[in-house]
A and B are shown apart, each in its own frame.
Chain A
Amino acid sequence: MKWDEFFVTGEPMIYAAMVSIVLVSIAIPAGLTYFKKWGYLWREWLTTVDHKKIGVMYIIAALLMLFRGGVDALLMRAQTAVPNNGLLDGQHYNEIFTTHGIIMILFMAMPFIIGLMNVVVPLQIGARDVAFPRLNAVSFWLFFFGAMLLNISFVIGGSPDAGWSAYFPLASLEFSPTVGNNYYSLALQIAGIGTLMTGINFLVTILKMRAPGMKLMKMPMFTWSILITSVIIIFAFPVLTVALALMMLDRQFGTQFFAMQNGGMDMLWANLFWVWGHPEVYIVILPAFGIYSEIIATFARKNLYGYKSMVYSMVVISLLSFLVWVHHFYTMGHGVMVNSVFSITTMAISVPTGVKIFNWLFTLRRGKISFTTPMLYALAFIPIFTIGGVTGVMLAMASADYQYHNTMFLVAHFHYVLIPGTVFGVIAGFHYWFPKVFGFKLNERLGKWAFWFIAISFNITFFPLFILGLNGMTRRMYTYSESTGYGPLNMLSMVGAVGLTIGFILLVYNIYWSTRYQPREVTGDPWDARSLEWSTPSPVPEYNFAKTPVVDKLDAFWFAKKEGKSLTEEGDYEPIHMPNNNGQPFIMGVAFFFFGFFMVFSWWLPAIIAGMFILGTMAYRTFEQDHGHYVTVEEIERTENALRGEKK
């Protein structure tokens, strides 16, 4: 392989990206050395097994990826803003819409959600960490290095360019000869294994580590949503693992699983992809539903309406989510019977979703609503998501879908579900739980400015796409002629995209501003909220709860506050057993990165060495003795007194 094939060449934008990557990779180590932060970084972050810190790292990575995916989106909108635009060529546009999809779903939405669940779930159930803290760190580093592997593809070797769904035969070696889709199979595989382990970890955590008295039906709704999400992850991700492995074998080892001849079946890829892909939609949406349930109950100052129906509707959604995948490819030539069956299951799934919407509305009814920033996102979510849901039912009708399929109407639909659903959800959750982690609120004024920019610009960006789609503009078109008449609405959409960018910048500026100037919280419960995480001081100490709380009902913390009771039993502190930090997960992640990179380029010998190294780290772990450490009573007293004031 020649150097000019190894690096992507010929595009000024790519050269600029290379220069900025080199500058950043010089600046970060230089900065760390100058401020003498290497030891701090290694001890406090890279080796940490603390669920709160892992959660924070997930969220930082997700914000970075939101920026990367957002730049992709801006470039796409800029390219299509005017007819016959030459900003990007066809190949570059293909790579950009592909990576935009992969990054936003797998490296932005997923880690943001996993980050929030890492921070919040153990606190909500009164636990001191997750069930397998070391495994949790492994999950994070696998995700992180999987994401990095995909991100270097646009300067080294070329990005995947067959769409985020990588349909065969287009994604096969024959039609996509660059290494781009090797990156796809390997980066997603590495990150996917991490996600699968997170699913197992949180299922066990929620089932086994709840505070005494917290029965399943007394758990906060967010924890419920994560329990269901974990179950879906455990059953959906193995399908992706298998499909990606088959893809890798097809592209790099000459097998014929998805080939068009020799007994292969190209459409089997689409089938397997969506067997995972549809449950994946619910993996990113259910936690957001959980976040909204918490926020709406807190700021309406009422208990959640229809708790049981919320739980049952999520269980039904989790089952139905495995029954609808064929609706992603109605037009592939199935018979009437197949399409009818999947039309019906798809429409059925809107029933439990509708139940949830009404539950939120009834929670709001006669509530004393306070319009905080997280609440604004939750309130905006309800109507906007409903538009997405209703257009979803339109798409669910197989015969009508022959009109909508692969048009901008579809693009508008899934942005109308994913942005108010997942993105508003995680931003709302971010604002809501920020004081818990850092000990101060984000500024409300800046937060509301960002909200209005994001909510209004979102509609300006994506509503025109419904009309463009109905007028016949297909998705993934990189340019169009003036006579199509698509120009003005695309320009309007571009204006919206600029507004979204301003909103995002305001959001990030808010983090900076609040870190410097926002007054510090002293209570640990700044929103006057309902669930257990708010009974801890902010920022939360390493061991979370000095004494394990005892719970007897839903929203026990709220009622304890009202009645002036304590959630913990009388008595002295006891030493707390905590897991030790460990560098092995990070080292394993680095090894996976190199393994993936060598595999992408089919450099077998280095790949085998990296693979052996990974197996070596696992073997080492098998024989390692690590029993954790105890936090002494004196240290607990000192920490608690410092955080809560002198009272005990």
Chain B
Amino acid sequence: MKELFPVPHVIGFVSSLLLSLIALVVIKFDLSFGMGMTILGVTAIIQACLQLFLFMHVGENENKTALLTNIGYALFVGLVTIFGTLFAMMWGYQMI
């Protein structure tokens, strides 16, 4: 029965739905900006870990070099995109 019913995955799926619901609190209730961002940040990080470890099997990789290169590259692209966009569209915009 255990093979037919993947308990951790179902729990993971339900918790990722739950986390999304918790994030909805931010727009449904009148929270301060800091409070709202904290809730979003915390739920997002838990959500990302859930996806990485449970559904994308990050912990099960034998080849650590490939894994770390991949994560490093992803971080590079992600951070460049986010901070580059902020730089181009907000901080550096109309700045002399």
| CB pair A235 B74 closer than 8 Å | yes
Given A235-B74, A322-B76, is A337 in contact with B81 using a C-beta cutoff of 8 Å?
A: no
Give the residues in chain A near B94, CB-CB below 8 Å.
Answer: 333-335
Q: Report B-chain residues with C-beta under 8 Å of the C-beta of A267.
A: 89
B-side contacts of A334, CB under 8 Å: 88, 92-94
A555, chain B: closest CB distance, angstroms? 25
Interface contact B81-A338, CB-CB below 8 Å: no
The residues of B that contact A116 with a CB separation of less than 8 Å are: none
Q: Does A271 contact B (CB under 8 A)?
A: yes
B58 contacts A by Cβ under 8 Å: no
Measured between beta carbons, the chain A residues less than 8 angstroms from B73 are: 231, 235
Verify if B7 is at the interface (C-beta below 8 Å from A): no
Residue of A nearest to B77 (CB): A235
Let me know if A268 is at the binding interface, CB within 8 A: yes
Measured in the bound complex, the distance between the Cα atoms of B92 and A271 in whole Å is: 14
Query: Which of the residues B66, B76, B85, B95 comes within 8 Å of A335, measured between beta carbons?
Result: B95
- B contacts with A: majority SS: helix
CB distance from B24 to the nearest CB of A (A): 16
User: What is the CB-to-nearest-CB distance from A272 to chain B, in angstroms, rounded to a whole number?
Assistant: 8
Q: Is B80 an interface residue (CB 8 A)?
A: yes
A268 and B95 form a contact (CB under 8 A): no
Q: Are A335 and B92 in contact (CB under 8 A)?
A: yes
Whether the Cβ atoms of B89 and A323 lie closer than 8 Å is no
Kindly state whether residue B41 has any CB partner on chain A within 8 Å. no
- Which residue of A236, A323, A337 contacts B92 across the interface (Cβ within 8 Å)? A337
Q: How far is the CA of A319 from the CA of B81 in the complex (A)?
A: 12
**Which residues of B58-96 have CB atoms within 8 Å of chain A's CB atoms?**
66, 73-74, 76-77, 80-81, 84-85, 87-89, 92-96
Measured CA separation A334–B87 after assembly (Å): 10
B93 CB to closest chain A CB (Å) equals: 6
Bound: A342/B85 CA distance, A: 12
State A197–B91 Cα separation when bound (angstroms): 35
Asked whether B76 lies within 8 Å of A338 as measured between CB atoms, the reply is no
Q: Do A338 and B80 touch (CB < 8 A)?
A: no
Residue contact A338 to B96, C-beta cutoff 8 Å: no
Contact A326 B88, beta carbon cutoff 8 Å = yes
Are B89 and A265 interface neighbours, CB within 8 A?
A: yes
The CA of A319 and the CA of B96, in the complex, are separated in Å by 28
**CA of A207 to CA of B65, assembled, Å:** 12
Which residue of chain A lies nearest to B74 when distances are taken between CB atoms in the complex? A235
Q: List 15 A-B contacts (CB under 8 A).
A: A235-B73, A236-B77, A267-B89, A268-B85, A268-B89, A271-B85, A271-B88, A322-B76, A333-B93, A334-B88, A335-B92, A335-B93, A337-B92, A338-B95, A341-B92
Q: Which 8 A-B residue pairings sit nearest by Cβ, starting from the closest? A: A335-B95, A338-B92, A235-B77, A326-B88, A335-B92, A337-B92, A338-B88, A322-B80
| Chain B contact residues, CB within 8 Å of chain A | 66, 73-74, 76-77, 80-81, 84-85, 87-89, 92-96
Query: Which residues of A line the B interface, CB within 8 A?
Result: 207, 231, 235-236, 239, 265, 267-268, 271-272, 275, 319, 322-323, 325-326, 333-338, 341-342
